[in-house]
């Protein structure tokens, strides 16, 4: 697909829309090219920390729900980082009406750590206008849900929602499990 190309999957409610962003939510940027490298290195550090924590949880035989949520966050973050680190090296520039080439002879459109993240899922469920009486936005377009995102973003979001909404169950069970293991490992006094 070329940049901006789209096709409808479920009418106007679910659209595959090819776009790229610099790796932050809603296409935001952080301090230009230097900021991109700093942000990418920070994310790599975060992935290493999440990977270490996930490994620790596995060794501790943590509950399935906690492992699943942390795994979703880890794999989502890893997916976006892979785009950000390698996509610019592996592909030519995506333009409107021009499909990017894989491994172009002239090299990719960006150096290592400067690639863009590919997004493709678009769900404009409600497409309307703000009422004229609405402060500041009256008469302007209103689209819900406007962001275009990818599978990695979805994995991170689902993992975080599981942690938020099931935290009581997840962490209470985890604490009880750790207390039980500690009691089992206590030496018996004769």
CA atoms within 13 A on the CB side of 160: 8
- CA–CA separation, 10 and 18 (whole Å): 16
Choosing from 83, 119, 132, 141, which is the catalytic residue?
119
Choosing from 83, 132, 141, 153, which is the catalytic residue?
153
Q: Are 46 and 30 in contact (CB under 8 A)?
A: no
Token pair 């089992």 is at which residue?
184
CA atoms within 13 A on the CB side of 83: 19
Q: Are 25 and 86 in contact (CB under 8 A)?
A: no
| Whether residue 141 lies in the annotated active site | no
CA atoms within 13 A on the CB side of 141: 6
- Which residues are catalytic, by number? 119, 153
């Amino acid at each position: 697909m070329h940049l901006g190309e789209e096709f409808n999957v479920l009418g106007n409610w679910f659209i595959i829309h090819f776009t790229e962003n610099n790796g932050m939510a809603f296409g935001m940027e952080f301090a230009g090219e230097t900021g991109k490298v700093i942000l990418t290195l920070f994310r790599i550090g975060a992935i290493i920390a999440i990977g270490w924590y996930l490994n620790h949880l596995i060794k501790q035989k943590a509950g399935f729900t906690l492992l699943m949520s942390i795994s979703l966050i880890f794999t989502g973050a890893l997916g976006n980082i892979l785009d950000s680190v390698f996509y610019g090296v592996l592909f030519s520039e995506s333009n409107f009406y021009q499909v990017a080439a894989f491994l172009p002879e002239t090299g990719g459109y960006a150096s290592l750590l400067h690639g863009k993240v590919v997004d493709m899922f678009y769900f404009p469920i409600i497409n309307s206008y703000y009422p004229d009486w609405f402060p500041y936005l009256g008469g302007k377009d209103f689209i819900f849900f406007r962001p275009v995102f990818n599978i990695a973003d979805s994995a991170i979001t689902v993992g975080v929602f599981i942690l938020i909404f099931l935290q009581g169950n997840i962490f209470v069970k985890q604490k009880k499990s750790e207390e039980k293991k500690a009691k089992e490992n206590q030496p018996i006094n004769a």
